[in-house]
């Protein structure tokens, strides 16, 4: 069963749009929650095919848009709401993820007969990997963690010393989206959120505190997030499993849009290795 563009309404907060992929057999199955990365969204590229691959192995797969990723309820693909994007930050993404977990583990959940709430895996891609690591380190409901091409630190990505004063003065800075050609705004609150929550957002410390099984998957020639970051994550959590992939880019040779009805080989390996780890 595939149900797209469901809406999680929240009091005084932007709603979250999410998809579910699962076999509706009223049998409890592991819950897998996928967190997209920076300038990402739940419908990017081949993520639907990834979701179907997990569901075909009798896993309950959820993917969602972070509430301030730039998408809207009516247009969840791409970035029609740059005002929301400008107000995104790590704390909001962690709250979004918590609300998604709460929604699917609630006693009132319409999915409760199909979910084993004692078996919850987080998967995060790129920046979403950092969010997943932090959440897994602080939430005892999480039983396994998988990161795909994850970052190992937020600090160096939050600002550069050279433009910090200009950012503060202007109140906003922009990053070009090479695909959509949009100048993506980041309000200065993004930096302030990081500084005010620096201890919580320390991925190294969170990685060292993990007590759940952890699978790290990273392309050795990743041009966007260096393989050195995967090595750091593995160093900080020596009991983790590090899987390296050759001949692949940051998105495991997928792209947006993805028009084929099959996964690129590298992404298929990522999905199948992740499924095996969960099993």
Q: How confident is the model at residue 158, as a pLDDT?
A: 78
Q: Which residues contact 77 (CB under 8 A, 6 or more apart)?
A: 41, 43, 71
Instruction: Specify whether the CB–CB gap between 216 and 185 falls below 8 A.
Output: no
- Whether omega before 257 lies within 30 degrees of 0, making that bond cis, reads yes
| CA–CA distance, 102 with 232 (Å, rounded to integer) | 31
Q: How confident is the model at residue 121, as a pLDDT?
A: 99
Q: How confident is the model at residue 161, as a pLDDT?
A: 52
Closest among 120, 127, 86 to 103, alpha carbons compared: 120
**Going by DSSP bridges, is the β-strand pair 214-219/144-148 parallel, antiparallel, or unpaired?**
parallel
Closest among 123, 113, 116, 124 to 141, alpha carbons compared: 116
What are the pLDDT tens digits along the chain (279 aa)? 999 999 999 999 999 999 999 999 999 999 999 999 999 999 999 999 999 999 999 999 999 999 999 999 999 999 999 999 999 999 999 999 999 999 999 999 999 999 999 999 999 999 999 999 999 999 999 999 999 999 999 998 876 656 899 999 999 999 999 999 999 999 999 999 999 999 999 999 999 999 999 999 999 999 999 999 999 999 999 999 999 999 999 999 999 999 999 999 999 999 999 999 999
Q: How confident is the model at residue 160, as a pLDDT?
A: 61
Instruction: Specify whether the CB–CB gap between 51 and 63 falls below 8 A.
Output: yes
Q: Domain spans of the chain?
A: 2-155+198-278
Closest among 98, 80, 105, 138 to 13, alpha carbons compared: 98
How does DSSP assign the chain, residue by residue? -EEEEEEEEETTEEEEEEEEE---SS--EEEEEEE--TT--TTSTTHHHHHHHHHTTT-EEEEE--TTSS--SS--SS-S-HHHHHT--HHHHHHHHHHHHHHHHSTT-TTGGGEEEEEEEEEEETHHHHHHHHHHHH-TT--EEEEES--S-SHHHH--HHHHHHHHHHSEEEEE-TTT--EEEEETHHHHHHHHTTTTT-HHHHHHH--S-EEEEEETT-SSS-HHHHHHHHHHSTTSEEEEESS--TTTT--SS--SSS--HHHHHHHHHHHHHH-
**Going by DSSP bridges, is the β-strand pair 172-176/144-148 parallel, antiparallel, or unpaired?**
unpaired
Q: How confident is the model at residue 157, as a pLDDT?
A: 81
257 alpha carbon, distance to own chain's centre: 19
Q: CATH classification of 2-155+198-278, choosing from 3.30.70.2860, 3.40.50.300, 3.40.50.1820, 3.40.50.1780?
A: 3.40.50.1820
How does DSSP assign 4-23, residue by residue? EEEEEEETTEEEEEEEEE--
Cα dihedral sign, 176-230-35-55: positive
């Amino acid at each position: 069963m595939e149900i797209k563009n469901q809406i999680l309404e929240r009091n005084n907060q932007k709603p979250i749009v999410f998809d579910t992929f699962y076999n509706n057999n009223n049998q409890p199955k592991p819950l897998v929650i996928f967190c997209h990365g920076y300038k990402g969204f739940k419908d990017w590229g081949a993520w639907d095919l990834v979701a179907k691959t997990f569901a075909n192995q009798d896993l309950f797969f959820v993917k969602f848009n972070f509430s301030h990723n730039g998408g809207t309820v009516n247009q969840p693909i791409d970035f029609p709401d740059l005002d929301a994007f400008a107000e995104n930050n790590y704390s909001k993404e962690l709250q979004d993820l918590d609300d998604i977990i709460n929604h699917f583990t609630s006693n009132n959940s319409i999915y409760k007969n199909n979910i084993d709430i004692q078996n919850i895996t987080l998967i995060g891609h790129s920046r979403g990997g950092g969010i997943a690591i932090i959440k897994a380190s602080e939430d005892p409901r999480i039983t396994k963690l998988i990161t795909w091409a994850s970052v190992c630190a937020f600090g160096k990505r939050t600002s550069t010393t050279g433009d910090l004063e200009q950012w503060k003065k202007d109140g906003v800075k922009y990053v070009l989206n090479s695909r959509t050609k949009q100048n993506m705004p980041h309000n200065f609150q993004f930096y302030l959120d990081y500084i005010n929550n620096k201890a919580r957002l320390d991925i190294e410390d969170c990685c060292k505190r993990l007590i759940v099984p952890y699978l790290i998957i990273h392309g050795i020639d990743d041009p966007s997030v260096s393989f050195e970051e995967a090595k750091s994550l593995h160093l900080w959590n020596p009991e983790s499993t590090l899987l390296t992939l050759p001949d692949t880019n940051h998105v495991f040779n997928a792209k947006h849009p993805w028009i084929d009805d099959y996964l690129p080989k590298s992404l298929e390996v990522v999905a199948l290795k992740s499924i095996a780890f969960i099993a």
